[in-house]
């Protein structure tokens, strides 16, 4: 098995399935009793970037750096919702790729590649939360590529925002 060819194929398939993965992500959050908040506008974009990074063999932080979506950082929960949403999104990507792998070795390598991306994304998210809460700056590979906003909402306000 040639991992480079498999990586390119799986990356392209992930890109092609980005809307399906984003829909599964929303359902998975709902099943956990969580409300989509932090990644509401950029889940599909992150899947697109993760697939492109996988196909290109790009560095693990590439999806985070190149995402052009809106990232909401909830100050009251200190980024816990963001952490959960990112973990669930990457889990949905891994599940989608597992269905498209041709053998066990390919699946293992795909999960490993996505796991390394997730670790980089979580480090970047933690740095963004810290910078937002402390009015600091994040530099280098931990910087989110899109627009960031710091929100101070109560749980009741989230339900109202979601319903509106």
pLDDT tens digits for range 27-54: 999 999 998 999 988 999 999 999 999 9
DSSP annotation string for the chain: --HHHHHHHHHHHHHHTHHHHHHHHHHHHHHTT----TTTTTHHHHHHHHHHHHHHT--TTHHHHH--SEEEEETTTTTHHHHHHHHHHHHHHHHHHHHH-SSHHHHHHHHHHHHHHHHHHHHHHHHHHHHHHHT----GGG--SSEEEEE---HHHHHHHHH-
The answer for residues whose C-beta is within 8 angstroms of residue 12's C-beta and 6 or more apart is 51, 55
Q: Which pair of tokens denotes residue 76?
A: 């009251």
Alpha-carbon distance of 91 to 34, in angstroms, equals 15
| Mean pLDDT value across the chain | 91
- Which range marks the domain in which residue 66 is found? 3-163
90: pLDDT strictly greater than 50: yes
* Reported confidence tier of residue 139, pLDDT bands at 50, 70, 90: confident
Instruction: Output the pTM of the full model.
Output: 0.90
What's the average model confidence in pLDDT over 130-149? Answer: 88
Interval 44-87: pLDDT, tens: 999 999 999 999 999 999 999 999 999 999 989 988 999 999 99
Alpha-carbon distance of 34 to 26, in angstroms, equals 9
Higher confidence at residue 163 or residue 129?
A: 129
Q: What pLDDT is stored for residue 154 in this prediction?
A: 62
137: pLDDT strictly greater than 90: no
Percent of the chain predicted with pLDDT > 70: 93
Higher confidence at residue 109 or residue 135?
A: 109
Partners of 72 in the β-ladder = 149
- Counting the structural domains of the chain, the total is 1
19: pLDDT strictly greater than 90: yes
* Reported confidence tier of residue 161, pLDDT bands at 50, 70, 90: very low
């Amino acid at each position: 098995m040639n991992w480079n060819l498999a990586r390119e194929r799986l990356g392209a398939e992930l890109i092609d399935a980005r809307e399906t993965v984003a829909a599964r992500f929303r359902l998975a959050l709902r099943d956990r009793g969580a409300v989509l908040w932090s990644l509401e506008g950029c889940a599909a974009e992150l899947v697109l970037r993760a697939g492109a990074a996988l196909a290109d063999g790009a560095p693990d932080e590439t999806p985070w750096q190149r995402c052009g979506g809106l990232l909401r950082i909830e100050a009251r929960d200190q980024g816990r919702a963001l952490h959960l949403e990112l973990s669930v999104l990457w889990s949905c990507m891994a599940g989608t790729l597992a269905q498209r792998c041709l053998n066990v070795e390919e699946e293992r390598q795909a999960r490993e590649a996505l796991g390394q991306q997730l670790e980089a994304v979580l480090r970047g998210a933690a740095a963004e939360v810290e910078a937002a809460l402390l009015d600091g700056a994040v530099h280098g590979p931990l910087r989110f590529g899109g627009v960031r906003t710091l929100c101070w909402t109560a749980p009741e306000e989230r339900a109202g925002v979601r319903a509106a």
